[in-house]
Chains A and B, each alone.
Chain A
Amino acid sequence: MIIDGSEGDLKRFLDDLPPVDQVGADARAAMLATRSIKTTSKAWAIDMAISMVDLTTLEGADTPGKVKALCAKAVRPDPTDLTVPSVGAICVYNDMVKIAREELDLIGGRKIPVAAVSTAFPSGRASIEVKKQDTQDALNAGASEIDMVIDRGAFLSGKIGKVFEEIKIVKDICGEKAHLKVIFETGELVTYDNVRKASYLAMLAGADFIKTSTGKVNPAATAPVVLVMLEAVRDYFALTGIKIGVKPAGGIKTTKDAIKQLVLVNETAGSDWLNPSLFRIGASSLLNDLLMQRMKLRTGHYASANYVTID
């Protein structure tokens, strides 16, 4: 064990992490954004990105119809071209999990996991009892991935033991049944030092994935934030031999954005992470842009927006 589990020990460990220099991290992310990804590598990256999309709908107005449409899109993103891979997962609110799971099973998407946002998403402002029940409900409905939010208020007021315990409790509930993604809401943690600390805290508490944002707060998955998280999983692997996944979510809307994320992965954590089991992109509108760019590569010209399906 790296830490003995006490709050004091956890705090000591996090305080010993090297600091992040904001200017330097921004500069590195900006440099990597200049990589020019063309032709064959672009085609490869587009398919990889599609297979990493956590196709998401998290609206108060979500209905069974909307969720079922999203499931169809997840299984066959482009019905005219069956070489397009399926997406990484469907991500919905708790009460839509059952509908999504049944629909996916029905239409040939048995392998596509359903992720549920949990623990009083997006704010995380509820008692641990509510958060436990929230998670249990999602599992009962058939979720195989849990996207939980951390208690940012506790983190920012220094109660990191509370944050740590909550993740551990949710992880215990997930057990072998579900993958746990821990959402930081980096737009509320603000500093890169906080992002690094939250990353280690979550990994030590048992997260399978660390995730930037809920998509409800701006800024979300900025390149430097993802860079810092990728450095954390890379260094955690060197320390423990365990590979933790990373999921940027929020603000990744275009193929260009997605490819920049893949470049960040490639040149930070390394090619092992270029895999849907270790890198996901939480998005809703991104998928259609990826499909349009894929068509453009194949046919040589841009199709109108009506040649990709709306969901």
Chain B
Amino acid sequence: MSDFEYANAPESKAIAKISQSYDLFIGGKFIKPKKGKSFNTINPATEEVLAKIAYADELDIDIAVSHAKLAYTKVWSKLPAKERGKYLYRIARILQERAREFAVVETLDNGKPIRESRDTDIPLAAAHFFYHAGWADKLEYAGLGNKPKSLGVVGQIIPWNFPLLMLAWKIAPALATGNTVVLKPAETTPLTALLFAEVCQQAGLPDGVVNIVTGDGITGAALVNHPDINKIAFTGSTEVGKSIARSISATKKSATLELGGKAANIVFEDAAVDEAVEGIVNGIFFNQGHVCCAGSRLLLQENIMDEVLEKLKKRMSLIRVGDPMDKNTDLGAINSLEQLRRIKDLASTGDSEGANRWSPECKLPTKGYWFAPTIFTGVSQSHRIAREEIFGPVLSVLTFRTPAEAIEKANNTMYGLSAGIWSDKGSKILWAAKQLKAGVIWSNTFNKFDPASPFGGYKESGWGREGGRHGLAGYLTSDAKVSK
């Protein structure tokens, strides 16, 4: 009897119309950058150039911010709140209508499997707009003080791991609370943000309320340092987050920073093992491990280690690595050559520091950037791969003997973004959740997101919260605090 081979099931590229080049979206129009510079964005699964993207420098940022400021003072801040809500509802609906197109563009530009962009990224992005649309005219009842006020022009810088979703996390609350926006997508994944600019036009959003500027770190720095920016919202690496914190330290600018993580995923002896294995896989291999809250440190109770590892390895050998456009692909391409190098470098320290590397047999494509799903066993707290964020499909496996030891090890990190607890015992879950120093704690699940739930970290994982009622506070005047 031959094996059940899944024939290719590619999503159609023809659904997306990607232009050869994109300009900056400023004041409701696409305009050329002043100096006419540009850069390419590529498909990391094939290394093919997808489009030429305008490069914004200080001059272009200045123009974008002045448009955002004008839109704020003349239009957006004067609009009745329920009118703002209408625009957000409209954007949410358009995102749903064009979901398939957005999913295809996201997968082409980012390298993530179409199943994930189709089932997770795009629906969640729309959900964020729906959720915040509802808040727009109810801010007085959000427990943030009597008459919470918007801040003005907000500069937003987003990462490449969930391009459209991170845009939604940033833009939806900013607009709902009455601010205008200059947003810079990541250098390697600008396309869905530019497609979103078209959505703003389609929704009839007043000119200048949302401006999209594309570029690199220098572009981002120009945005951060612009004097007319009232707030910076950043998601990305801890290193860049720290430099943003430094540069705004002597200004009136406020900031929310959502930075790195090294989450502990704790599996207790009484866990539902099969589902825990699924959760481990989902925790680290979802989105190629390019997830700030990824469960990258597996803490296994020592007496179930063999059983769990055996099942985990069997399960990992079923992960389908390859063409992100294939509907059956589970693990896609690494987003960039630079990131692939970082992953390889950190993984090699695992080898040199004496941990045991294991990957299932899998054929990686010859073109593009790929890294097989990998686990390291025999890892201790002092290994670099147990401390540093790899941001790739690499799991470090550690063990513990008692619940107290699990908590101690889980909290022994400079990060504090997320954690996972696997146990069938409710009292143990509640006890562990209380002890863990992490902004998001999942029990018997992992990587679940909802616009109503605040997200953010302790320690070097960042400042402030995004999403939910708490997320609104970051976009309103500083006397506005969430009442407990």
Q: Is the CB of A24 within 8 A of B6?
A: no
Tell me which of B36-44, B269-277, B289-297 binds A.
B269-277
* Distance A263 CA – B119 CA, assembled complex (angstroms): 19
B63 cross-chain contacts in A, Cβ below 8 A: none
Contact pick for B1, options A45, A267, A275, CB 8 Å: A275
Q: Is the CB of A45 within 8 A of B4?
A: yes
A contact residues, total (Cβ < 8 Å): 29
A21 cross-chain contacts in B, Cβ below 8 A: 272, 275-276, 424, 444
A307 cross-chain contacts in B, Cβ below 8 A: none
Q: Is the CB of A37 within 8 A of B445?
A: no
Q: Is the CB of A271 within 8 A of B272?
A: no
B8 cross-chain contacts in A, Cβ below 8 A: 38
B 271-314 to A, binary, CB cutoff 8 A, 1 in contact else 0 = 11111101100000000000000000000000000000000000
Q: Is the CB of B7 within 8 A of A18?
A: no
A 132-174 to B, binary, CB cutoff 8 A, 1 in contact else 0 = 0000000000000000000000000000000000000000000
Per CB-CB distance, the 4 closest pairs between chain A and chain B, nearest first, are: A24-B275, A36-B9, A21-B272, A36-B327
Contact pick for A274, options B1, B9, B273, CB 8 Å: B1
A44 cross-chain contacts in B, Cβ below 8 A: 2, 4-5
A-B contact pairs, 24 of them (CB 8 A): A18-B271, A18-B273, A19-B270, A19-B424, A20-B272, A20-B274, A21-B275, A21-B276, A23-B445, A28-B274, A34-B327, A35-B6, A36-B6, A37-B6, A38-B8, A41-B5, A41-B7, A42-B7, A44-B4, A44-B5, A45-B4, A262-B4, A263-B4, A274-B1
Q: Which of A18, A35, A48 is most buried by chain B, counting CB atoms within 10 A of its CB?
A: A18
B 436-469 to A, binary, CB cutoff 8 A, 1 in contact else 0 = 0000000011000000000000000000000000
Give chain A interface residues in 26-49, CB to chain B under 8 Å.
Answer: 27-28, 34-42, 44-45, 48
* Distance A42 CA – B274 CA, assembled complex (angstroms): 28
Q: Is the CB of B275 within 8 A of A28?
A: yes
- A38 CB, nearest partner CB in chain B, Å: 5
Q: Is the CB of B4 within 8 A of A41?
A: yes
Contact pick for B7, options A20, A39, A262, CB 8 Å: A39
A 261-273 to B, binary, CB cutoff 8 A, 1 in contact else 0 = 0110011000100
Q: Is the CB of A34 within 8 A of B115?
A: yes
- B472 CB, nearest partner CB in chain A, Å: 29
B327 cross-chain contacts in A, Cβ below 8 A: 34-36
- A248 CB, nearest partner CB in chain B, Å: 17
Q: Which of A21, A35, A231 is most buried by chain B, counting CB atoms within 10 A of its CB?
A: A21
* Distance A140 CA – B351 CA, assembled complex (angstroms): 66
Q: Is A189 interfacial (CB 8 A cutoff)? A: no
Give chain B interface residues in 188-245, CB to chain A under 8 Å.
Answer: none
* Distance A212 CA – B152 CA, assembled complex (angstroms): 61
Q: Is A25 interfacial (CB 8 A cutoff)? A: yes
- B135 CB, nearest partner CB in chain A, Å: 28
Give chain B interface residues in 1-30, CB to chain A under 8 Å.
Answer: 1-9
Closest-by-CB residue of A relative to B327 is: A36
Closest-by-CB residue of B relative to A39 is: B7
Closest-by-CB residue of B relative to A275 is: B1
* Distance A42 CA – B328 CA, assembled complex (angstroms): 14
A27 cross-chain contacts in B, Cβ below 8 A: 278, 445
B2 cross-chain contacts in A, Cβ below 8 A: 44
* Distance A38 CA – B6 CA, assembled complex (angstroms): 7
Q: Is the CB of B4 within 8 A of A271?
A: yes
* Distance A269 CA – B5 CA, assembled complex (angstroms): 15
Q: Is B318 interfacial (CB 8 A cutoff)? A: yes
A48 cross-chain contacts in B, Cβ below 8 A: 4
Give chain B interface residues in 78-120, CB to chain A under 8 Å.
Answer: 115, 119
- B107 CB, nearest partner CB in chain A, Å: 14
A34 cross-chain contacts in B, Cβ below 8 A: 115, 119, 327
Q: Is the CB of A231 within 8 A of B6?
A: no
Q: Is the CB of B273 within 8 A of A38?
A: no
A18 cross-chain contacts in B, Cβ below 8 A: 271-274
A262 cross-chain contacts in B, Cβ below 8 A: 4
A24 cross-chain contacts in B, Cβ below 8 A: 272, 274-276, 278-279, 444-445
Q: Is the CB of B275 within 8 A of A41?
A: no
Q: Is the CB of A36 within 8 A of B272?
A: no
- A283 CB, nearest partner CB in chain B, Å: 19
Give chain A interface residues in 189-238, CB to chain B under 8 Å.
Answer: 231
Q: Is the CB of A274 within 8 A of B4?
A: yes
B6 cross-chain contacts in A, Cβ below 8 A: 35-37, 41
* Distance A44 CA – B3 CA, assembled complex (angstroms): 10
Tell me whether A25 and B1 are in contact in the complex, defined as CB-CB below 8 angstroms, given that A35-B328, A36-B328 are known contacts. Answer: no
B276 cross-chain contacts in A, Cβ below 8 A: 21, 24
* Distance A266 CA – B1 CA, assembled complex (angstroms): 13
Closest-by-CB residue of B relative to A18 is: B273
- A242 CB, nearest partner CB in chain B, Å: 18
* Distance A25 CA – B327 CA, assembled complex (angstroms): 21
* Distance A35 CA – B318 CA, assembled complex (angstroms): 13
Closest-by-CB residue of A relative to B315 is: A267
Q: Is the CB of B1 within 8 A of A23?
A: no
- A164 CB, nearest partner CB in chain B, Å: 24
- A191 CB, nearest partner CB in chain B, Å: 12
Q: Which of A38, A39, A274 is most buried by chain B, counting CB atoms within 10 A of its CB?
A: A38
- A166 CB, nearest partner CB in chain B, Å: 28
* Distance A274 CA – B1 CA, assembled complex (angstroms): 8
Contact pick for B274, options A38, A231, A271, A274, CB 8 Å: A231
Tell me whether A40 and B278 are in contact in the complex, defined as CB-CB below 8 angstroms, given that A19-B424, A34-B115, A275-B1 are known contacts. Answer: no
B 412-437 to A, binary, CB cutoff 8 A, 1 in contact else 0 = 00000000000010000000000000
* Distance A20 CA – B276 CA, assembled complex (angstroms): 10
- B280 CB, nearest partner CB in chain A, Å: 11
* Distance A24 CA – B270 CA, assembled complex (angstroms): 15
Q: Is the CB of A266 within 8 A of B4?
A: yes
* Distance A49 CA – B474 CA, assembled complex (angstroms): 56
- B142 CB, nearest partner CB in chain A, Å: 30
Closest-by-CB residue of B relative to A192 is: B272
- B473 CB, nearest partner CB in chain A, Å: 31
Q: Is the CB of B7 within 8 A of A38?
A: yes
B7 cross-chain contacts in A, Cβ below 8 A: 37-42
Apart from A38-B8, A40-B5, A44-B2: 16 A-B pairs, beta carbons within 8 A: A18-B271, A19-B270, A19-B271, A19-B272, A20-B275, A24-B275, A35-B327, A35-B328, A36-B328, A37-B7, A41-B4, A42-B7, A263-B4, A266-B4, A274-B1, A275-B1
* Distance A25 CA – B424 CA, assembled complex (angstroms): 14
Q: Which of A24, A48, A274 is most buried by chain B, counting CB atoms within 10 A of its CB?
A: A24
B318 cross-chain contacts in A, Cβ below 8 A: 267
B444 cross-chain contacts in A, Cβ below 8 A: 21, 23-24
* Distance A20 CA – B9 CA, assembled complex (angstroms): 32
* Distance A37 CA – B5 CA, assembled complex (angstroms): 9
Closest-by-CB residue of B relative to A263 is: B4
B271 cross-chain contacts in A, Cβ below 8 A: 18-19
Closest-by-CB residue of B relative to A228 is: B274
